């Protein structure tokens, strides 16, 4: 497995394992998809994700929306 610092940038969607404050790249790519909006998020811009749900979010608004949809459960 690779971490975000030694990941080759291959065009396409990456498969990520989200960790506390970091992530591991399981399959290389240059973006992931927001679980709320479906928008592509370049890996170098990825800032918001849920470890428990293993999903990425394009911004804090999408993150809060998913949190509220889940009934306030992280």
Q: Using one digit for the tens of pLDDT, what is the confidence trace for 16-45?
A: 999 999 999 999 999 999 999 999 999 999
72 falls in which pLDDT band (50, 70, 90)? confident
pLDDT of residue 34: 98
SS3 22: strand
Residues contacting 41, CB < 8 A, separation 6+: 31, 32, 33, 34, 56, 57, 58
pLDDT of residue 73: 75
**Which residues are bridge partners to 22 per DSSP?**
19
Residue 74 forms part of a structural domain: no
For the chain, the first-to-last Cα distance in angstroms comes to 26
> Residue 38, by phi and psi: left (phi above 0), alpha (psi -120 to 50) or beta?
left
Residue 54 forms part of a structural domain: yes
Give me the domain span that covers residue 55: 2-69
Residue 49 in this model has a pLDDT that exceeds 60: yes
Number of structural domains (the chain) is: 1
Residue 32 forms part of a structural domain: yes
**Average pLDDT of every residue of the chain:** 90
């Amino acid at each position: 497995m690779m971490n975000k610092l030694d990941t080759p940038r291959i065009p396409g969607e990456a498969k990520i394992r989200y960790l506390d404050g970091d992530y591991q790249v399981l399959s290389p790519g240059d973006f992931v998809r927001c679980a709320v909006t479906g928008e592509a998020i370049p890996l170098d811009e990825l800032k918001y994700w849920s470890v428990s749900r293993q999903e990425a979010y394009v911004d804090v608004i999408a993150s809060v929306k998913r949190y509220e949809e889940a009934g306030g459960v992280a």
